[in-house]
Amino acid sequence: MFKEIGQLAGMMGQMPRIREEMEKLQQRLPQLTAEGDAGAGMVKVRVNGRLDVTACVISEEIMKLGDREMLEDLIRGATNQAIAKVRQQIADETAKMASNLGLPPGMGLPGMPGLT
């Protein structure tokens, strides 16, 4: 119990540094990108670390099919894949930052998109 209290007190003393590092990471989020694809690459979606869709490319081949429902499914799948990839990048960046700050592993950092 006393060990945990000591860790908590140490973290409280680091709050200004933690806040500063969080702000730096927030500023880097737009530069993080990930791409998802579906339908053997016929649909590609790119998202950034703020979870904004920055690109969506649909091949001419799939447009010629005229199957709206299939296209919707492919867009949804590619988007979800891209979001999952960028969330993993954010989690990796957050874990690295927490480690550099000496925070315990697995400690959630609030305010990061897609992380709890």
96 assigned to some structural domain: yes
83 assigned to some structural domain: yes
Q: What is the pLDDT of residues 89-115, one digit of tens each?
A: 999 998 888 888 877 766 555 555 544
Indicate which CATH number applies to the domain containing 88. Answer: 3.30.1310.10
Average pLDDT score over residue span 66-82: 98
What is the C-alpha to C-alpha distance for residues 98 and 11, in angstroms, rounded to an integer?
11
What is the C-alpha to C-alpha distance for residues 27 and 50, in angstroms, rounded to an integer?
10
Q: Domain span at residue 75?
A: 28-100
Number of domains in the chain: 1
| Under 8 Å between Cβ of 50 and 81 | no
82 assigned to some structural domain: yes
Q: What is the pLDDT of residues 12-41, one digit of tens each?
A: 677 888 888 889 889 999 999 999 999 999
2 band by pLDDT with thresholds 50, 70 and 90 = low
Residue indicated by tokens 């209290």: 5
Q: Which helix (H) or strand (E) holds 44?
A: strand 43-48
The pLDDT of residue 116 is 43
